[in-house]
């Protein structure tokens, strides 16, 4: 904390009363101002060498939300995404992607694209329609717009998810919270998806409606949607990549969350190598529609030499 304050006062980049008082004391006299001056001298970021040394000194620092590089043994990806944050990865076929809500307040909005072929992407409408089911959970498939399986849900401890509402928008968040920009205090999910997409060569027009995990929605008999919220702390869901995937994740409040504040807890993400669903797996033959989607996927990947 002291390092950050000294750095801010030296460069003049600080804002607010705290930054102003630190700058004033560094130019004054007396024991307290002398200590401030020594701290300033110890971390002088006013030069290229000083800035470099200061930056390198932070390499061992840990934050509550950050990727773990390299990932722990047995994993290819380990990261905690803060509320209002996003992340992205390209995953190999068969990878097991586990999402965990440690506090009960995360909401993981997910978009999937076929890696290297972003024109094949998640189709939330077909995911619901083809499987005759509006609710995500273990045994469900996340389908592309070309009748193939992008990922399967292999495990789910919460059961409160949503394939109907998509994510939040800048307009909606501005109306509810006063701001919806990607770098503001209450970023919208779509704005974060735009950033994640750009880092994978995608444009805003490439973004379809997303699905979300950990904050549930129920369809009432009259067709209205009721927000039913979280299943509680520690809920987890595991997705299996059925073909190479580009994964975009945004951790933001559900658009139907009725709470007045921008409430969103951290999201834990981990991924481990694995094998895709194969003939003989109970999931392969669970439904006629699912079997057809798996056959479509296998045939396509075999033609491309992937399977």
* The pair of three-digit structure tokens given for residue 198, joined into one six-digit string: 């750009």
39, pLDDT greater than 50: no
217, pLDDT greater than 60: yes
Mean of pLDDT values over 43-66: 82
Q: Say how many C-beta atoms besides its own lie within 10 A of residue 19's C-beta.
A: 15
Mean of pLDDT values over 248-256: 98
Return the percentage of the chain with pLDDT > 70, whole number.
86
* CA–CA dist 100, 51 (Å, integer): 37
* CA–CA dist 146, 125 (Å, integer): 12
Q: Is the peptide bond before 153 cis (omega within 30 degrees of 0)?
A: no
197, pLDDT greater than 90: yes
Q: Say how many C-beta atoms besides its own lie within 10 A of residue 37's C-beta.
A: 16
27, pLDDT greater than 50: no
CB 6 within 8 A of CB 22: yes
Q: How confident is the model at residue 287 (pLDDT cuts 50, 70, 90)?
A: very high
Mean of pLDDT values over 203-213: 98
Task: Work out the widest C-alpha separation in the chain, in whole angstroms.
Answer: 81
4, pLDDT greater than 50: no
Reported pTM: 0.83
What φ, ψ does residue 211 adopt, rounded to 5°?
Answer: -110, 165
């Amino acid at each position: 904390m002291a390092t950050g304050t000294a750095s801010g006062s030296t460069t003049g980049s600080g804002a607010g009363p705290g930054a102003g008082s630190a700058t004033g004391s560094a130019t004054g006299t007396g024991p307290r101002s002398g200590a401030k001056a020594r701290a300033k001298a110890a971390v002088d970021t006013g030069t290229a060498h000083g800035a470099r040394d200061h930056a390198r000194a932070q390499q061992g620092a840990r934050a509550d939300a950050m990727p773990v590089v390299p990932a722990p043994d047995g994993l290819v990806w380990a990261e905690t995404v803060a509320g209002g944050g996003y992340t992205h990865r390209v995953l190999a076929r068969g990878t097991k992607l586990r999402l965990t809500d440690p506090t009960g307040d995360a909401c993981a909005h997910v978009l999937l694209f076929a890696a290297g072929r972003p024109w094949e992407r998640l189709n939330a409408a077909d995911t619901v329609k083809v499987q005759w089911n509006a609710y995500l959970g273990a045994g469900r498939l996340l389908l592309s717009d070309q009748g193939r399986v992008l990922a399967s849900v292999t495990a789910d401890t919460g059961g409160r998810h949503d394939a109907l509402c998509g994510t939040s928008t800048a307009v909606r968040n501005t109306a509810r919270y006063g701001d919806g920009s990607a770098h503001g205090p209450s970023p919208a999910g779509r704005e974060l998806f735009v950033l994640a997409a750009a880092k994978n060569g995608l444009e805003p027009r490439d973004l379809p409606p997303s699905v979300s995990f950990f904050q549930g929605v129920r369809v009432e008999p009259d067709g209205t949607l009721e927000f039913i919220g979280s299943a509680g702390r520690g809920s987890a869901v595991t997705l299996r990549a059925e073909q190479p995937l580009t994964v975009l994740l945004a951790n933001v409040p559900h658009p139907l969350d009725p709470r007045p504040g921008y409430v969103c807890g951290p999201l834990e993400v981990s991924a481990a190598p694995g094998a895709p669903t194969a003939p003989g797996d109970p999931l392969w033959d669970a439904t006629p529609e699912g079997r057809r989607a798996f056959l479509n996927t296998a045939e396509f990947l075999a033609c491309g030499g992937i399977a």
